[in-house]
Structure 1
Amino acid sequence: MPLRDGHWAYLVAFQDVFTRVIVGWALEDNMRSTLVIKALQKAIDRKPLPKGLIVHSDGGVNTLQRILDGYCKNINLSKV
């Protein structure tokens, strides 16, 4: 999202699609992989992961998707 000073802010949010509640989010001035990981980690820290949890991504930037794929694999999450 554009800011008044001409800079940009980038928001990543994870939503529980059953309750429609945002369970994790992160906001930064860049779109690096750490932004996605921070948002997912906030969601995970909020409450225990239910068995069979699936992370769905909109397919954004390819590099970020590869990093998210690897992170999900490391913590045993399915990603589609």
Structure 2
Amino acid sequence: MQAADLQAWRPAPVSSQGAFIVALWALAASLVPAMQKGDDNARSAHIALNSIQIGLFLWQVPTGWEIVQKVFQFTSWP
């Protein structure tokens, strides 16, 4: 890459969506102890967070698939 290429480079939206999904996973996982104690609010929040995660994942699939295709295009296979 040249310097001009580095200046124009920006992370794809799929990167920020992926980071947000990881944060939501952590939040959802942190609710498990409360759910084990029978807290229905924690259960509802856990389900809501996981639903948002599924939506974000489905939103990023087309962009992520384009990235995978570019990687395969420029990969030298043995």
TM-score by length of 1: 0.28
| Structure label with greater radius of gyration | 2
TM-score by length of 2: 0.29
Larger proportion of strand: 1
Query: Which structure's relative contact order is higher, taking Cα pairs within 8 Å and 6+ residues apart?
Result: 2
